[in-house]
Amino acid sequence: MNKQPLRCRVQVVLPIEKPYDYLLPYGTDGAQIALEPGQVVMVPVGRRVLPGVVWDGDADENVPLKKLKEIVSVSEVPPLREELRKFVEWVANYTLSPQGSVLKMALSVPQALEDQVGQKLYRLSGDALSKEGEREKTRLTSARQKVIDVVTNSGGWTSADLAREAGVSSSVVKGLEKLGMIESYFEAPDFFFPAPVSDAVGPELSPDQKAAADDLVSRVQGRSFSTVVLDGVTGSGKTEVYFEAIEAALREGRQALVLLPEIALSSQWLDRFKQRFGVAPAEWHSDLTPALRRKTWRAVASGKAPVVVGARSALMLPYSDLGLIIVDEEHEGSFKQEDGVYYHARDMAVVRAKGCGCPIVLASATPALETMVNVQSGRYERLILPGRHGGAGMPDVELIDLRFDKPERLQSGPGWLSQALRGAIRQTLEAGEQAMLFLNRRGYAPLTLCRTCGHRLQCPHCTAWLVEHRRFRRLQCHHCGFSAALPETCPSCGAEDSLVPCGPGVERIVEEAKLLFPEANVALMASDTMTSPAATKEMVDRIQNREVNLLVGTQVVAKGYHFPYLTLVGVVDADLGLFGGDLRAAERTFQLLHQVAGRAGRAEHKGRVLLQTSDPKHPVMQTLKEGDRDKFLEIEAETRARGNLPPFGRLAAVIVSGPDESELDNFCAGLARSIPQFDGAQILGPAPAPLALLRGKFRRRFLIMSKKTIAPQGIARNWLSQLKAPSRIKVVVDVDPYSFL
Ligand SMILES: Nc1ncnc2c1ncn2[C@@H]1O[C@H](COP(=O)(O)OP(=O)(O)OP(=O)(O)O)[C@@H](O)[C@H]1O
Ligand SMILES: [Zn+2]
């Protein structure tokens, strides 16, 4: 009797909703090889061969055999665990994303799936420095210099990766190897990160810290799911407390994952980890070299990366046995991904922890309103650290009313620092302490305008002003990256010397600070000046060593840093984040300013915070001044509840975009006509998005608002499936949107 060939389902890493059916591969003995769900395979799709995962459930026996293709090969990597497969399905369902796109985030390193034979890698050669002399002689070409720069930063590159990263041809790499400047070695295929030192002990904890740490440790030992909010004022030792929980996970032989909002800016955190545990954790972020990426993925999958610290994408890695998740600064907006799969890493981390049967800790001094409402309803538990470590007090917060204390003009143009703030800076510097000026705006000026005709310089591809970056004498669009030289004459009326910068960015504050305090050592810290983790670390070290005493920065300085001599924080424009029709504008402003304020006076010297505002009566300013976070949350909760806004109601945004405006409007009109009627939900729109033009695409927005008991996903699915979008039009659903641009 002829036996039917066996088939299985494979979810391919393409933007497709469901698994396809394939034939099991044939072994050398001519028999089919049995596969288990979770095994990683390569399968033909059209003319390509792509990675996929054997999925749960039976293939459809009714599909004719001749339509089925055979699995090409089976990867040696450990099968994806059921926990991760279920998580992929859950995320796809919740975010309305194709399952294949979510799976692709888990299999994000195709090279890691290949069988690993020892591979030839390159690094800076041991005696590269002694070759300096020869290097002079041979006069490194700029192509060669680029390669040297890359390997100086980190080793472990294949020839192809190295050439690609340096933007040169592989013959340049060969040439340098001949010269002896770089050398090759073989890497063993066993990928691992060293185990943390087991007898390392942390600092002696205060009674409050100890109580919180003990609670977390017993949860880790209990090996079951729970969500705990670690709610402690800035500088209360949240990090020290959760380090104890990490230690407990390691003792259990399980892995720990720490999600940080900006891993590239976390040099202090990494130093502390190394001090505490004797080794560095595995890092996961976009700056890893391809070789390190592959090593890390493999080590995580085989349980040889005990602690992973990373950006939101670290949540998607194939952990072999996750025993603890920490989300530090859980209120941070950067945990929301707004590209490809739109997901919130904090919320999805809670789901993943549940699947792994492990506790998850959400740490913050200013937990999100969503999180606090979950505490109130009993879904999350809470541990409180009420005071700063070592008895340091909370800083005094004062408001400067800009309507009365107007910044004086400087010789060179308008000034932005009030008399009160100038005086406080002077005092601080005279006392030998450090001051920080905060303005959450990169560049020199957010707008450039022609004095003669009023023309404003705008991005040709976006609804956005061009921002002047004086250091490079260029204009830049902060939405699409468009950049152009600063014109000499007005592009509209041709007038000369007529373009004036309007408003301040941090570069302009640096200019004013240098003018007012010529004796100070002024430094700037913004995401575009901190171009690499190394550059950030260097700056942080300079501040720690007090080579800098007047720091100017954007939100990158707000996060987690601990500078004992920093006693004054001045916020140049505290009202900046309050505008723009974003439902979380007040909350975000409160969190950010509270966080910035928290940098002041963290050790024995008392801290002082001055907020320049034109609206001192605003609840955000009042509660910051009173240091009353819970009162702010109460006011905010009332406002949101009244509008049935999250977390009391639910939202999903639908963003429709395309290159042709009339085609787009036609399609949106069709969508609007097919909006169904609901009880407890409504769909608003279409409205031009605030960024009505982005990267050359026109954009319209709809907003689905529903009661908390109704899932907007189902509404979106039914409604949007009625109309097929023309090929040039893209429809994106953003469930629980954070950006309304
Ligand atoms: N029990 C302790 N013994 C010694 N030093 C401690 C202790 N607890 C905290 N510290 C120190 O106090 C400083 C602040 O602690 P930590 O950074 O953990 O606070 P945090 O709550 O995470 O702060 P933030 O929210 O502002 O980032 C750190 O330098 C930390 O090493
Ligand atoms: Zn642009």
Q: What percent of the chain has pLDDT over 70?
A: 96
Is residue 459 a known part of a binding site?
yes
**Nearest ligand to the C-alpha of residue 480?**
2
Lowest mean pLDDT of 62-71, 176-185, 423-432, 547-556, name the range: 176-185
Distance, in Å, from the CA atom of 592 to the CA atom of 597, rounded to the nearest integer, reads 8
Sign of the dihedral through C-alpha 621, 622, 623, 627? positive
* Cis amide leading into 616 (omega within 30): no
The residue type found at 235 is G
Mean pLDDT, residues 390-412: 90
- Other Cβ atoms less than 10 A from the Cβ of 435: the count is 29
User: Where do the CATH 3.30.70.600 domains begin and end in the chain?
Assistant: 649-735
Do the beta carbons of residue 504 and residue 529 sit within 8 Å? no
**Is residue 614's pLDDT more than 90?**
yes
Q: Is the pLDDT of residue 114 over 70?
A: yes
Query: Of all atoms in ligand 1, which is nearest to the CA of residue 560?
Result: 27
What separation in Å is there between the alpha carbon of 694 and the centre of ligand 2? 6
Architecture label for domain 649-735: 2-Layer Sandwich (3.30)
**What pLDDT is recorded for position 159?**
85
Was 462 annotated as part of a binding site? yes
Percentages of the chain per state (helix, strand, coil), in multiples of 5: 35, 25, 40
How many whole angstroms from 235 Cα to the centroid of ligand 1? 5
Domain 7-107 has CATH 3.40.50.150: no
Nearest Cα to 299, choosing from 274, 280, 277? 280
- Please give the Cα distance from 320 to 297 (Å, whole number): 11
Task: Output the residue whose Cα is nearest ligand 1's atom 24.
Answer: 234
* In the predicted structure, residue 1 carries a pLDDT above the cut 50: no
Continuous segment of H or E residues that includes residue 543 = helix 533-544
pLDDT of residue 725: 92
The reply, when asked if residue 502 is annotated as ligand binding, is no
The SS3 call for residue 500 is: strand
Report the greatest alpha carbon distance in the chain.
97
CA distances from 722 to 73, 96, 527, 719 (A): 39, 16, 43, 6
* pLDDT higher than threshold 80 for residue 264: no
| Cα pseudo-dihedral 192, 196, 197, 200, rounded to 10 | 170
User: How many other C-beta atoms are found inside a 10 Å radius of the C-beta of residue 578?
Assistant: 18
The whole-number pLDDT of residue 621 equals 97
What is the torsion angle, in degrees rounded to the nearest 10, for the CA atoms of residue 351, residue 352, residue 356 and residue 362? -80
Counting ligands in written order, the one closest to the CA of 602 is 1
For domain 392-441+504-638, the question of CATH label 1.20.810.10 is answered with no
Residue whose CA is closest, atom 4 of ligand 1? 203
Closest ligand 1 atom to residue 239 Cα is 18
Helix (H), strand (E), coil (C) string for 578-642: HCCCCCCHHHHHHHHHHHHHCCCCCCCCCCEEEEEECCCCCHHHHHHHHCCHHHHHHHHHHHHHH
Q: Which of 210, 234, 240, 277 has most ligand 1 atoms within 8 Å of its beta carbon, as the pocket-test mutant?
A: 240
Which atom of ligand 1 is nearest to 385's Cα? 21
Mean pLDDT of the chain: 91
- In the reported structure, the alpha carbon of residue 731 is separated from the centroid of ligand 2 by a whole-number distance in angstroms of 20
Task: Compute the average pLDDT of residues 237-258.
Answer: 96
Paired tokens of 213: 């740490």
* Closest atom of ligand 1 to CA, residue 562: 29
- Neighbouring-strand partners of residue 337: 343
How many A from CA of 562 to the centre of ligand 1? 8
Provide the residue type at 698 as one letter.
F
Report the separation in Å between the CA atom of 128 and the middle of ligand 2, taken as the mean of its atom positions: 43
Q: What is the pLDDT of residues 347-377, one digit of tens each?
A: 999 999 999 999 999 999 999 999 999 999 9
- Mean pLDDT, residues 608-636: 96
> For atom 27 of ligand 1, which residue has the closest CA?
560
Phi-psi region of 391 (alpha: psi -120 to 50; beta: other; left: phi over 0): left
What atom in ligand 1 is closest to the CA of residue 206?
Answer: 1
Mutate to test the pocket of ligand 1, among 205, 234, 239 (most ligand atoms within 8 A of CB): 239
Quick check: 282 and 300 in contact, CB under 8 A? yes
Ligand 1 atom nearest the C-alpha of 598 is: 26
Query: Where are the domain boundaries for CATH 3.40.50.300 in the chain?
Result: 207-390, 392-441+504-638
Residue 132 has pLDDT above 60, yes or no: no
Q: Which atom of ligand 1 is nearest to the CA of 234?
A: 26
Residue to substitute in 562, 602, 604, 609 for testing ligand 1 pocket (most ligand atoms within 8 angstroms of CB) = 562
In this structure, the residue with its CA closest to atom 30 of ligand 1 is 237
Question: In the CATH scheme, what architecture does the domain 207-390 have?
Answer: 3-Layer(aba) Sandwich (3.40)
Q: Whose CA is nearest to atom 8 of ligand 1?
A: 237
pLDDT in tens, 506-560: 999 999 999 999 999 999 998 887 777 788 888 999 999 999 999 999 988 877 6
Instruction: Determine if residue 356 is labeled as part of a ligand binding site.
Output: no
Residues 6+ apart with CB under 8 A from 661: 698
Q: What angle do CA 675, 680, 683 make, to 5 degrees?
A: 30
| 139 pLDDT above the threshold of 70 | no
What is the distance in A from the centroid of ligand 1 to the CA of 237?
3
**How far does the centroid of ligand 1 lie from the alpha carbon of residue 495, in Å?**
56
CA 641 to chain centre: 29
Burial class (CB in 10 A: 0-12, 13-18, 19+), 434: buried
Q: What is the whole-number distance in angstroms between the Cα of residue 253 and the centre of ligand 1?
A: 26
Contact 163, 175 (CB under 8 A): no
pLDDT, average across residues 386-409: 90
Residue 133 pLDDT exceeds 60: no
**pLDDT of 464:** 87
Ligand 1: which residue has its CA nearest to atom 18? Answer: 237
pLDDT reported for residue 164: 86
Indicate where the chain has its CATH 1.10.10 domain(s). 119-187
**Comparing 179 with 2, which gets the higher pLDDT?**
179
440 CB-near residues (< 8 Å, 6+ apart): 554, 555, 576, 577, 592
Mean pLDDT, residues 443-449: 92
Reported as a pLDDT band with limits 50, 70 and 90, residue 412 is confident
Please state, in angstroms and rounded to a whole number, the distance separating the CA atoms of residues 501 and 495: 15
Fold (CATH) for 119-187: Arc Repressor Mutant, subunit A (1.10.10)
Residue among 288, 235, 286, 262 nearest 556 (CA):
262
- Find the mean pLDDT for residues 183-193: 74
If one counts every other C-beta atom within 10 angstroms of the C-beta of residue 157, the result is: 25
With contact defined as beta carbons under 8 Å apart, do 466 and 459 qualify?
A: yes
Planar angle of CA 89, 95, 98, nearest 5 degrees: 60
Q: What's the gap in Å between 238 CA and the centre of ligand 1? A: 6
What's the pLDDT score for residue 478?
87
453 annotated to bind ligand = yes
Helices (H) and strands (E) in the chain, counts: 21, 31
CA of 240 to the centre of ligand 1 (A): 6
Nearest CA to ligand 1 atom 3: 203
CA distance 140 to 134: 10
Distance of CA 676 to the CA centre of its chain: 36
Ligand 1 atom nearest to CA at 236: 21
Query: Does residue 399 surpass a pLDDT of 80?
Result: yes
Q: What percent of the chain has pLDDT over 90?
A: 67
DSSP codes, 161-213 = HHHHHHTS-HHHHHHHHHHTSEEEEEEPS----PPPPTT---PPPPHHHHHHH
According to the annotation, is 358 in a ligand binding site? no
> What are all long-range contacts of 677-686, with beta carbons under 8 Å and residues at least 24 apart?
678/706, 678/710, 678/715, 680/706, 680/707, 680/709, 680/710, 681/705, 681/706, 681/707, 681/710, 681/712, 681/715, 682/706, 683/715, 683/719, 685/654, 686/656
Q: Is the pLDDT of residue 421 over 80?
A: yes
Ligand 1, pocket residues at CB < 6 Å: 203-206, 209, 232, 234-240, 365, 389, 560, 562, 598
pLDDT at 198 over 70: no
Q: Which of 453, 431, 393, 361 is nearest to 235 (CA)?
A: 393
Give pLDDT, residue 582: 85
- Please state, in angstroms and rounded to a whole number, the distance separating the CA atoms of residues 294 and 282: 12
For 665-723, how does the pLDDT look when each residue is reduced to its tens digit (9 = 90+)? 999 999 999 998 888 999 998 988 888 889 989 999 999 999 999 999 999 999 999 99
